[in-house]
Amino acid sequence: MNINPILLAAETATETSSEVAAAGTGGMVFSILWIVIIFAAMYFLMIRPQRKKQKEEKKMRENLQVGDEIVTIGGIYGRVISLKEDTIVIESKSDHSKITVARWAMQSNLTVHDDTASK
């Protein structure tokens, strides 16, 4: 048997290149899969809780009522005197001065409302 070294080398090279191509495709799929997993983890750990918090804050601002005790983002404590579409007039606790603030500037509502009446 006479084995031609050139044909043997060509067959080996063909098999090696197809194995490398298969391994490269698998590695690329694996890399894309890891990127998808990382983005999914970021969504569930960072973006989703932030959106949930924003929805709760928006609901709190929409459900403000006259007489509620509130705290602004700037740390001013007061009682709601009147509500308008974009602004709220509050009366500060210390010297009973009236302040007009933007509705988005409400940090928290200290008044506990009975939610069973609304349901």
The number of domains in the chain is 2
Give me the pLDDT at residue 39, please. 94
Token couple for 39: 């983005």
Q: What is the mean pLDDT of residues 13-38?
A: 73
- Give domain status of residue 114, yes or no: no
Mean pLDDT, the chain, whole residue set: 82
Compute the chain's Rg from CA coordinates. Answer: 32
Instruction: Say if 46 falls within a structural domain.
Output: yes
Instruction: Calculate mean pLDDT across residues 107-117.
Output: 76
The secondary element (H helix, E strand) that includes residue 33 is helix 5-42
Whether 31 and 57 map to the same domain: the answer is yes
Q: What CA–CA distances, in Å, run from 54 to 40, 43, 77, 103?
A: 20, 15, 21, 14
pLDDT at 20 over 70: no
Lowest mean pLDDT among 1-5, 40-44, 83-87, 104-108: 1-5
CATH number at residue 74: 2.30.30
Q: Looking at the structure, tell me whether residues 41 and 68 fall in a common domain.
A: no
Give dist(CA 80, CA 69) in Å, integer.
7
- Same domain for 4 and 36, yes or no, is yes
> Range of 83's domain?
64-109
Residues 85 and 57 in one domain: no
Residues 54 and 95 in one domain: no
Contacts (Cβ under 8 Å, ≥6 apart) of 90: 70, 72, 76, 78, 79, 80, 81, 98, 99, 101
pTM: 0.60
Residue 116 has pLDDT above 50, yes or no: no
